[in-house]
Amino acid sequence: MNIRRTAVIALLAIVPSVSAFAADEPGQKHSPFDDLAWQPGPLSFTLGSRAKIELPEKTAALSESESNKFLKLTGNLPTSGLNIVTNGAWWATFEFDDAGYVKDDEKIDADALLQQLKDSDGPSNEERKKAGFPALITDGWYVPPHYDPATKRLEWGLRIHSVDDNRPVINYTVRVLGRSGYERVVLVSSPETLDQDVAQFKKVLTGFDFNAGEKYSEFKQGDRVAQFGLAALVAGGAAAVATKTGFWKVLLGALAAGWKLVAAAAVALLAGIAKLFKRKS
């Protein structure tokens, strides 16, 4: 069995001038987010080699290299093949996993999945410790996992907190199923504004689509089929299979880097991003 996680090279759209994002207004404190090469909407932004997203006004995206700078600024581990999208009030990550065609006929046991996530805190945090980041603790569901067969989207909201900050943070997660794998999408928000942020985020997500030939409906006999179903997407995708097949040590680093993203302090830093859009408007 070949279980692996392939980095997807981000193919970027034309980079617009970032001067509107880079200059500080008189009296404003300079933010390290100002130095990132933001690509503002409206824009057709390419996500890896299999998908794109039509960004509306008052949103912006970052290339893979700039996204990794963003992740470091927010206390997260850099991840290959990942892009950041934000509207100034929230931010989200987009990343493709070429695990193969995931069958969507599996029932989901939310209680059992939550226990699996809590059990994985230990090994995941060992990797964060090596990278100098504080541990993250799983608290519970904000929104239990649910699947929409019409949109091919699996969604759930997870409450977590950092050991050095007890304020809760919500990772609202979407898995969009495609022909050869799935898009990992994680919304980072706070409990106080989550409902509003999810509504805005879903409007932006309507602009996401797989390229021709990569859509779930275009599956053909002979295509590679994933060795797991919907439940494993919540519990960690291929890594959930690896725990049962002896590949855990190989995939531990990838799991810790990619599937549970944000430290509690990250949401507070959004204030630095929000002013970028105020200067743009």
| Mean pLDDT, residues 223-232 | 92
pLDDT higher than threshold 80 for residue 214: yes
The reported pLDDT for the residue numbered 235 is 78
User: For residues 13 and 225, what is the distance between their CA atoms, to the nearest angstrom?
Assistant: 31
- What confidence tens digit (pLDDT) does each residue in 229-272 have? 998 888 764 443 333 333 223 223 333 333 344 433 344 445 44
pLDDT higher than threshold 80 for residue 220: yes
Tokens of 16: 């617009």
The reported pLDDT for the residue numbered 33 is 81
- Of 24-33, 190-199, 212-221, least confident by mean pLDDT is 24-33
Domain boundaries, the chain: 19-280
pTM for the full predicted model: 0.73
- What confidence tens digit (pLDDT) does each residue in 110-138 have? 998 898 888 888 887 887 788 787 888 88
Which of 272, 271, 274, 275 shows the shortest CA–CA distance to 87? Answer: 274
- What confidence tens digit (pLDDT) does each residue in 149-191 have? 999 999 998 888 888 877 777 778 899 999 999 999 988 877 7
pLDDT higher than threshold 80 for residue 14: no
Query: In Å, what is the CA distance from 16 to each residue of 60, 87, 169?
Result: 11, 17, 32
Whether the link from the prior residue into 42 is cis, omega within 30° of 0, is yes
Cα 249 to chain centroid distance, Å, stands at 23
CATH architecture of 19-280: 3-Layer(aba) Sandwich (3.40)
Can you say whether residue 152 is alpha, beta or left, with left for phi > 0 and alpha for psi between -120 and 50 degrees? left
The reported pLDDT for the residue numbered 63 is 94
- What confidence tens digit (pLDDT) does each residue in 61-88 have? 999 999 999 888 877 777 888 999 998 8
The reported pLDDT for the residue numbered 277 is 55
- In degrees rounded to 5, what are phi and psi of residue 120? -85, -5
The reported pLDDT for the residue numbered 239 is 40
List the beta bridge partners of residue 161: 137
Secondary structure (DSSP) of 52-75: EEEE-TT-EEE-HHHHHHHHHHTT
Q: Is 16 helix (H, G, I), strand (E, B) or coil?
A: coil
CA angle, 111 as apex, 105 and 117 as ends, to 5°?
95
Which of 175, 176, 181 shows the shortest CA–CA distance to 223? Answer: 181
In sign, the C-alpha dihedral spanning 258, 260, 264, 268 is positive
- What confidence tens digit (pLDDT) does each residue in 17-62 have? 233 344 455 556 677 888 899 999 999 999 988 999 999 999 999 9
